[in-house]
């Protein structure tokens, strides 16, 4: 059985959360109400701040941080770019060569950085005293491999390196309350069930002054609605100094979804998602795994067969990628196994 079945109504079998999570009913209702208010000219812009703060607090809870350490925006690459811009010329950045390019491109396009790419399986062993920053996803988008986050933190501590961890494919199903990382970024529209247009960036007080506020606007002001005109520069003291002006409707929809995830419980979601993923693995003769994402070979006729069976999945890096989340059930596993048989 799925978790919170009253909140979701997919058409067919949806196994594509690694691309875009389903919207809970409560989120859809909130966004419709917002759009109705906008159509009537009755939107209270100041009131949307409460949704942004709910989202900030919920994400902070998921990763074991204070809301003061979390900034909000719309795209992970922009926040990764701020970290890249904070590094001095000659800094060595270590990353996984097969990682998502929103993690890689900001460093690769920053002049003066020494970016060293290695296979993910060799990443921890490649951390050395020369490395200034390790930038990597907690869970790989292409195939769902889960990084040893404790091992990363230990390796970085041994060699005095900082870490940037992208949890876009992890937050929402993988428990992260004990995550040790200097910088954390996450897109909100996958496992966190938000509309596309929400993002989080966590950076603690010890490093905040090192990260440039290159995209600072009125929403980064210490008092937002008193920061909309004229000098002087008056940014927030905490991580809100990195906030980007929010896509209002997106945050109105995302805050209720994050509330739902915390109500159900990330630990419970983790157990549920892994159980389904491992039931699928068993059904095709694979050993159990540690990821809610399963990547398998994809013969040419598979996408058509899945579509005919009403199954939504994705093809990434030439392989079929299936992702199991709280709205999936044992019946979904049975349906996809029959379609692939």
Beta bridge partners of 16: 323
Residue 254 near residue 195, CB atoms below 8 Å? yes
Backbone Cα Rg of the chain: 21
Return the pLDDT at 27. 98
Tokens representing 47? 């009131």
Return the pLDDT at 249. 96
| Whole-number Å distance between alpha carbons of 274 and 57 | 26
**Can you give the pTM of this predicted structure?**
0.96
| Whole-number Å distance between alpha carbons of 301 and 224 | 54
Q: pLDDT tens track of the chain, all 341 residues?
A: 889 999 999 999 999 999 999 999 999 999 999 999 999 999 999 999 999 999 999 999 999 999 999 999 999 999 999 999 999 999 999 999 999 999 999 999 999 999 999 999 999 999 999 999 999 999 999 999 999 999 999 999 999 999 999 999 999 999 999 999 999 999 999 999 999 999 999 999 999 999 999 999 999 999 999 999 999 999 999 999 999 999 999 999 999 999 999 999 999 999 999 999 999 999 999 999 999 999 999 888 988 899 999 999 999 999 999 999 999 999 999 999 999 98
Residue 15 near residue 322, CB atoms below 8 Å? yes
| DSSP one-letter string for 97-162 | TTS-HHHHHHHHTSTT-EEEEE-GGGHHHH--TT-SEEEEESB-TTT-PBP-HHHHHHHHHHHT-E
Give 110's contacts (C-beta < 8 A, 6+ positions apart). 81, 84, 85, 87
Return the pLDDT at 108. 98
């Amino acid at each position: 059985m799925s978790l919170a079945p009253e909140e979701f109504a997919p058409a067919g079998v949806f196994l594509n959360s690694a691309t875009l999570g389903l919207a809970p009913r409560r989120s859809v209702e909130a966004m419709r109400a917002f759009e109705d208010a906008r159509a009537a000219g009755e939107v209270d812009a100041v009131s949307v701040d409460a949704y942004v703060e709910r989202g900030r607090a919920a994400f902070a809870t998921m990763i074991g941080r204070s809301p003061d350490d979390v900034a909000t925006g719309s795209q992970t690459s922009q926040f990764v770019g701020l970290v890249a811009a904070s590094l001095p010329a000659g800094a060595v950045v270590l990353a996984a060569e097969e990682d998502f390019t929103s993690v890689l491109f900001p460093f690769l396009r920053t002049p003066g950085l020494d970016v060293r790419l290695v296979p993910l399986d060799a990443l921890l062993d490649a951390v050395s005293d020369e490395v200034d920053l390790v930038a990597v996803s907690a869970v790989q988008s292409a195939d769902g491999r889960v990084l040893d986050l404790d091992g990363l933190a230990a390796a970085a501590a041994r060699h005095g390196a900082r870490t940037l961890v992208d949890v876009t494919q992890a937050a929402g199903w993988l428990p992260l309350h004990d995550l040790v990382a200097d910088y954390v970024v996450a897109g909100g529209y996958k496992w966190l069930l938000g509309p596309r247009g929400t993002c989080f960036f966590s950076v603690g007080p010890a490093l905040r002054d090192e990260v440039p506020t290159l995209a600072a606007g009125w929403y980064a002001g210490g008092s937002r609605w008193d920061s909309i005109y004229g000098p002087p520069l008056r940014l927030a003291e905490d991580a809100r100094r990195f906030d980007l002006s929010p896509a209002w409707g997106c945050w109105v929809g995302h805050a209720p979804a994050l509330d739902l995830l915390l109500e159900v419980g990330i630990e419970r979601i983790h157990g549920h998602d892994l159980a389904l993923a491992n039931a699928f693995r068993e059904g095709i003769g694979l050993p159990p795994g540690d990821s809610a994402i399963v990547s398998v070979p994809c013969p040419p006729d598979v996408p058509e067969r899945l579509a005919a069976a009403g199954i939504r999945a994705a093809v990434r890096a030439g392989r079929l990628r299936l992702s199991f989340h709280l709205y999936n059930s044992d019946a979904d596993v049975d349906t996809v196994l029959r379609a692939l048989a």
